[in-house]
Amino acid sequence: MENNINGNDVKFEQLMQSLDEIVKKLSSGTTPLDEMISLYEEGMEISKKCKKMLDDFDARLDIALKNEKENG
């Protein structure tokens, strides 16, 4: 992948774009089996990172909403 998905400063949108590229390659029907397996594994790792980011965003939103209720 062109994007560095392992960096700490990676954006959610970049991860989703990487996942989209992987899906396109897997769906093309021209990718060799060994590359398909590697792409699948990479996609699963990206998916886990996306889920963690979404969970973190959700927790931050919950805190912000709780603070707003307490202060407003």
Of these ranges, 2-6, 7-11, 32-36, the one predicted with the greatest mean pLDDT is 32-36
Which pLDDT score is estimated for 71?
Answer: 87
- Kindly indicate the confidence band of residue 1, based on its pLDDT and cuts at 50, 70 and 90: very low
Q: What are the domain boundaries of the chain?
A: 12-71
- pLDDT(34) > 90: yes
Task: Please write down the long-range contacts of 43-50, taking CB distance under 8 Å and 24 or more positions apart.
Answer: 43/19, 45/5, 46/5, 46/15, 46/18, 46/19, 46/22, 47/19, 49/5, 49/10, 49/15, 50/12, 50/15, 50/16, 50/19
Is pLDDT above 70 for 26? yes
pLDDT (0 to 100) of residue 8: 64
62 or 4: which leads in pLDDT = 62
